[in-house]
Structure 1
Amino acid sequence: MAKISPLMAAPLVIVAGFTVLAFVGLQRENPNDLPSAMEGRAAPAVEVIPLGEKTPLRDSDLRSGDVKLVNFWASWCAPCRVEHPNLETLSDQGITIYGVNYKDKPGNALKFLNDLGDPYTAIGADEAGRMALNWGVYGVPETYVIDGNGRVVLRFAGPITERAMENQILPAIEKAR
């Protein structure tokens, strides 16, 4: 019987390790349930610059007495395109959504909104990603439900699907009211 050298076995061991990690990761009840230290705390300060001629997002908007969403997104983000129709649906239902354009080129971001629609009440650009860092954003898209006192009720990582809207976003909005 031929011996297998350690050099030949290494790729098999690596593939087996990744397979086990993937299997364990898929067994989680909800892969979007990443830990968030923000829930129950005051929303961090808004630190954005204007995006074109859009209504600028201000820190006072988050503490204005009504429930709202803060959505971090980018034009280069494929899942952001997937969730966009659902953001439009929420906006059409009268839910205030503030947009934070993350590490994007202004022209690309404005084209994205022009092509797909603009569900945002106000918006700002986070070109350096500082605001996202302060909010604990893992990656875009990421959405926060903020109550009328400016406290984070829910952090939702990933694209808002119809299922996520029904099972997580809308219940969190009701809880925040």
Structure 2
Amino acid sequence: MNRRVVLLVPLALFIGLGIFLFKGLSINPFERESALMARDFPSFTLSTLSDPEAQIDESVLLGDVTLVNVWGEWCPTCKQEMPQLLSLADQGVRLIGVDYKDQRDKGLSFLRQFGNPFEFNLFDPEGSLGFDLGVYGAPETFLVDAEGVIRYHHTGYITPEDVTEVILPEVEKWR
């Protein structure tokens, strides 16, 4: 009897581990909630992409609903989502970019090639603001209300459907 129990323990552990791993396959990492939801946007002081001498802090987020888009020249999906960001800007949505873990000249070249929907771009070459936001890749977009509080977090590429079905309704909700 004891021998059977000893043989069944590894089998039970194997089956339990298999169920745990199988469940993990169904989890979509793009649907995770931001730990910063309903919290103030993190404090920062960064230069702009276009002017290394200009220092910008989180106070620029006060007074208007703003989409903060984390992007990089090295990011292929950032290129794909640029038409949607340009469309949002054309519809009167305020956008601020964060050029994340990039080189200044490459970021500027990216904007010349794909368009620039942003009021301005923060330059975050070390990823310090991205770290404070919990960014694990680009693109990621944060909706910040007029008081500087994060109200929505979109991980990954913004599709045309996301613009009409999610982003614009969220912007209107917080205006």
TM-score range, shorter-chain basis?
A: 0.7 to 0.9
SS in 1 for 2:116: coil
- Judge conservation of contact 1:146–1:153 (CA < 8 Å) in 2: yes
- Judge conservation of contact 1:79–1:159 (CA < 8 Å) in 2: yes
Alignment map for 1:42-61 (pairs within 5 Å): 42-53=40-51, 57-61=56-60
Q: Note the residue ranges of structure 2 that are not aligned, 5 or more in a row.
A: 1-17
Query: What is the CA–CA distance in structure 2 between the aligned matches of 1:120 and 1:78, rounded to whole Å?
Result: 18
Q: What's the CA shift for 1:49?
A: 2.2
Q: Note the residue ranges of structure 1 that are not aligned, 5 or more in a row.
A: 1-15
Q: What's the CA shift for 1:61?
A: 1.0
- Judge conservation of contact 1:46–1:131 (CA < 8 Å) in 2: yes
| 1:101-158 C-alpha deviation (Å, 9 max, x unpaired) | 0000111100000011111101111111111111111210000011111111101000
Q: Which residue of 2 aligns with 1:24?
A: 26
Count how many residue pairs are aligned between Structure 1 and Structure 2: 156
The partner residue of 2:106 within 105, 108, 111 is: 108
Q: Choose 66-75 or 33-42, whichever is displaced more.
A: 33-42
TM-score by length of 1: 0.80
- Judge conservation of contact 1:56–1:122 (CA < 8 Å) in 2: no
Equivalent residue letter for 1:88: L
- Judge conservation of contact 1:57–1:123 (CA < 8 Å) in 2: no
- Judge conservation of contact 1:57–1:122 (CA < 8 Å) in 2: no
Query: What is the CA–CA distance in structure 2 between the aligned matches of 1:152 and 1:37, rounded to whole Å?
Result: 10
TM-score by length of 2: 0.81
Q: Which residue of 2 aligns with 1:80?
A: 78
Q: Cα RMSD between the aligned structures?
A: 2.2
